[in-house]
Amino acid sequence: MSQQPPVIEIRNLHKAYGAHEVIKGVDIVANRGDVVSLIGSSGSGKSTILRCANLLEDSQQGEILFKGEPVDWKGTGLARVPANRAQVTRIRTNLSMVFQQFNLWAHMTILENVMEAPVTVQKRDPNEVKAKALMYLEKVGIGDKADAYPAQLSGGQQQRAAIARGLCMEPEALLFDEPTSALDPELEQEVVKVIKDLAQEGRTMLIVTHDMQMASDVSDHVVFLHQGLVEEEGHPSQLFGSPKSERLKQFLSSTRVT
């Protein structure tokens, strides 16, 4: 059991859009080196939890802690917002988010995309960042695409560039929001391989995914969400091998995990 505080800890999280409550009291813990996958049907709240963890969305109740440090809030209910913008920036720069749609700057080369945030947000030395960026592009298998533009890359290559961009921030954890759902099956496997390699390195990751095989292969812990609540959670061998919840059994019957 980790003696350090979890990298990410969510306690009793509630999130609503107006009168519609989408997260109804969720607890999630990711210790250092843990890969935690969030699974569930569309609308179950998976991506919303990830966005709340990264403070891209404001939550109305509950605690979010980063390495044991709670987020400071002001206001209550729908008026609750983070109280300390410097804290938000610091936490976000330590939790790199990889989105479904890549979000690369079209007018910048792949190398410039990867270097942008470490240089402009973290104020790191451009020469040091360039060396790291080239290393991470090699790591994800597209070192030869450093001078290309996003439009010249396949979807799988663009997503791998987005992962390199996240890694170049030297984050405490990586947050993946459906990283393969915009890709066709062949390109999807390129990205899955990179995520598997990162998992084997002991990177802390929170992954929202529709890919049950990937969740089974890379996760230390899987959380199945249903209607804004944790319906069942545990080791992937338990969840995929002997699910207890009828809803999880029904969900898994529509997918295939070998």
For 57-68, what is each residue's pLDDT tens digit?
A: 999 999 999 999
Q: Which residue has the tokens 């029904």?
A: 250
**Count of H helices and E strands in the chain?**
9, 12
Give 237: exposed, middle or buried? Use CB within 10 Å, 0-12, 13-18, 19+.
exposed
Domain residue spans of the chain: 1-94+173-179+203-258, 100-171
Q: What is the pLDDT of residues 207-243, one digit of tens each?
A: 999 999 999 999 999 999 999 999 999 999 999 999 9
Q: What is the pLDDT of residue 101?
A: 84
Question: d(Cα 230, Cα 243) in Å, to the nearest integer?
Answer: 13
- Residues 85/37, Cβ–Cβ less than 8 Å: no
In three-state secondary structure terms, 23 is strand
pLDDT of residue 257: 61
**Is the CB of residue 54 less than 8 Å from the CB of residue 95?**
yes
Q: Which long-range contacts (CB under 8 A, 24 or more apart) does 117-122 make?
A: 117/93, 117/165, 117/168, 117/169, 118/168, 118/169, 118/170, 121/89, 121/93, 122/93, 122/169
Task: Report pLDDT for 167.
Answer: 95
pLDDT for res 2: 44
* Interval 17-34: pLDDT, tens: 988 999 999 999 999 999
- C-alpha 187/C-alpha 190 separation (Å) is 5
Cβ neighbors of 19 (< 8 A, separation 6 or more) are none
> What type of residue sits at position 154?
S
Could you tell me the pLDDT band of residue 1, with boundaries at 50, 70 and 90? very low
**Right CATH number for 1-94+173-179+203-258 from 3.40.50.300, 3.30.1280.10, 3.40.50.1000, 3.30.2010.10?**
3.40.50.300
Average pLDDT of the residues of the chain = 93
This prediction's pTM: 0.92
